[in-house]
A and B are shown apart, each in its own frame.
Chain A
Amino acid sequence: MSIRLVTRSLVSGAVILGSLTSAAAAASAGAKVVNLTMWQQWGGGHEEAALDKVIKEYEALNPGVRITETPVTNSAKILTAISGGTPPDIVDLGTSLEVGEWASRGALLPMAPYISSSHLNTGVYVPAALDALTVSGQLYGLPFMDFDVGLLYNKTLFKQAGLNPNDPPTTTQQLQSDAFKLTKQEANGRITQLGFLPDYPGQSNGQVCTLEDMGWDFGGQWYNDKTHSITADAPQNIAALNYEASFYKKYGASNMANFESSAGAYLTANDPFESGKLAMVYDGPWALQYIEANRPSLASEIGVAPFPAPAGMSSLRGTTFIDTNPQVIPRGASDPSAAFAFIKWETTSPEVTATFAQLVANLPQLKKVPSFPLANDSRFRVFINEASSANAHVWPPLPYSTEYGVRLCQAQQSALLGTTTAAKAMGSLQTTMESSASS
């Protein structure tokens, strides 16, 4: 083929393409359709279906707005899209872990101008989750579907171990002695049943890695808002890590690690809790829903209680992290006002909130919602009550939140597996993060 022919076909191709796009542009100009793209981290399945229903409802109320949602669970991809200047209009994040990082670097639009122009009263939201979206005093997203954790325990295993299934532990000491009674270990060290696995499920359920919860539970904190300093090596945090490590010491670190790594994936019928190999777990209300689907016979045997606190610190009972699915608008979004109008409607509609909460077994982000079946469930109420207590904490939204979280998990793991002591692990975490914070 000659070059001229190639050129000719390329040119004609470009002409066709050009006329097509101009036709499309003309069509949209005529109908004045606002097209919004939304990247969401619910993924697929029934959660995506629920979101699609919400979107349809909004589109019906607002003809002229079209929202296309796409599951994008990889945060690095969202970040690259924002830095490349081609972000979606709305991002529905699965956790607030990255909000501090992104917001402090100008990747997210502050909500204040839109809140004031649309007269949104943020007092309607459960306050704890708003903290996760507040970076240096500014709000960078609206909360949707909060979540927190408590103690889930398997009553069948309690009965088998001679424990009262209606008397879950209330102190961490009790939790430990119960856990020891609930553990079965073979002569070669293999653990066939475990009372409590302190670092499970960790990141899988939205926690940083459980140690942050345990630290709060022991009265510690990870960041001091007043002095703006990292407090990883607070004595309470070290005590919490020592507490976690005591389980590993008792049964052998490698046996515990093997137990954890041979378990099936979280929230499947083969995960350690659902398969009846783990008696107690620090997990959220959605786990109940998955158990009902995966192992119906087990569902009624699961008890829920506020997580125990150390003896003498009973006011800390029910300590939990709290987080939300932040609805954020990235820098460079094509139509931020239209995007805000949607997330405002989505997050403040009591009906949408109640339906969604029921469907995904998450907590309503609104203080007042119409009654839904789960809201009357005594087990679910444990989580709702915790959300508005002083014991609900958020992982500090800082410019280096992710690094802090990743390094916290590394520190936790090294102490649990016995490659270092709790005090040393927290000490080096403190040093590393101080240098990261200053650079």
Chain B
Amino acid sequence: MPVQQPISHASEAGRPRWRWRPWRGPLPFLLPWLIGFIALTIIPLFLSLYWSFTNYDMLQPPQWVGASNYVQLVHDPLFRTSVINTSFMVVIGVPAGIVLGLGCALLLRRPIRGSALYRGAIFVPAVVPSVAVAVIWIWIFNPDYGLLNAALGVVHIKPQGWLASPSLAKPSLLMLLVWEAVGQIMVLMLAGLKEIPGELYEAASLDGAKPLQHFRYITFPLLGPVLFYSLIVWMIFYLQFFTEAFVATAQDLGEPVNSTLFYSIYIYQNAFQFLKMGYASAMAWILFAVTMIITVTLFRLQRRFIFYRGEQRA
């Protein structure tokens, strides 16, 4: 395909220097995606913003109700429950995944016998589809026949009703999620660790630094960008957490006693079970706003805490 050379021949012919001729450029190639993106993402996005100010049940035309959906949310005890449940996952799940992922990466950093196998084994959960993961863990959590209780039985710990108990269901799901996340975080961290030049450790050793000091003053600060990336990505993932909880509680969403009623689950329930599309849209926009605020805040903060190599500091 001819490459556009607007400057040379445009000026020769005395025509405008540049002409917008999209059909000659990349646009025809982008068009299929662009149409899909506009029709299936951009338009629904703004429709949902509009619906969040309406009563809409998908079957009748939406009715404008102003901010009443947002006002109602404040008084909805289950909205609060779902916020608390989701916050639990974010506040505990994100650090737990990063700490464990970093730990695995540090352990498997140097080539030891079978390190490829260990790395592979830890990463495997990431390639299993979430629904399959959930179904397998439902069995692992089974109070009578599950692997987890069988393992605990060996050390004489009383069998637990992992997903059946209102106090254990959330931590159980968290366990499952961290198991899925650790491998992915580990791979990222391994890549980050490779980037750290060996001379730094060498120099530190010559100055008499101990391994813990290596970590504190070299590894940790230089991994900053990778840690920060993981933090953002996994925070967003946990805020939107849906699939595994949906599969595990398919019979009765949020069971037992709303302990697994996460924010996205409650959006789904309002939208598709209760036909409250407007209410669900309002929830979705609040989630978007909250995610945005947290992300922007973290990006502001990172300037103070994260050090990028090659960057000059005043």
Contacts and interface: CB of A to CB of B under 8 A. Distances in A.
Interface of A: 2-3, 6, 76, 79-80, 82-83, 101-102, 105-107, 188-190, 202-204, 209, 254, 257-262, 331, 400, 402-403, 406, 409-410, 413-414, 417, 419, 428, 436, 439
Contacts of B161: 254, 257-258, 261
Pick the most buried of B59, B158, B274: most chain A CB atoms within 10 A of its CB: B59
Nearest to B274: A403
Nearest to A3: B28
A79 B256 CA distance: 27
B144 A105 contact: no
Contact of A258 (B59, B144, B251): B144
Contacts of A406: 252-253, 269, 273-274
Nearest to A270: B145
Contact of B274 (A257, A258, A400): A400
23 contacts: A2-B1, A3-B28, A79-B58, A79-B59, A83-B58, A83-B59, A190-B144, A203-B252, A209-B252, A254-B165, A257-B161, A257-B165, A258-B164, A261-B143, A261-B161, A261-B163, A331-B59, A400-B274, A403-B273, A406-B273, A413-B256, A414-B257, A417-B257
A106 B254 contact: no
A152 B40 CA distance: 51
Nearest to B252: A409
B274 A419 contact: no
Contacts, number: 92
Interface of B: 1, 23, 28, 55, 57-60, 72, 77, 142-146, 158-159, 161, 163-166, 251-258, 269, 272-275
A417 B256 contact: yes
Contact of B144 (A106, A203, A262, A402): A262
A266 to B, nearest CB: 10
Nearest to B144: A262
A169 B145 CA distance: 32
A102 B59 contact: yes
Contacts of A203: 251-252
A262 B257 contact: no
Nearest to B268: A76
A2 B24 CA distance: 10
B45 to A, nearest CB: 18
A106 B28 CA distance: 43
Given A190-B159, A257-B164, A410 B258 contact: yes
Contacts of A419: 166, 257
A204 B252 CA distance: 10
A82 B59 contact: yes
A419 B273 CA distance: 25
B179 to A, nearest CB: 20
Nearest to B251: A203
B159 A258 contact: yes
Given A190-B159, A257-B165, A413-B252, 19 more contacts: A2-B1, A6-B28, A76-B272, A80-B58, A83-B59, A105-B59, A106-B59, A188-B158, A188-B159, A257-B164, A258-B161, A261-B163, A400-B274, A402-B274, A406-B269, A409-B252, A410-B258, A413-B257, A417-B256
A190 B144 CA distance: 9
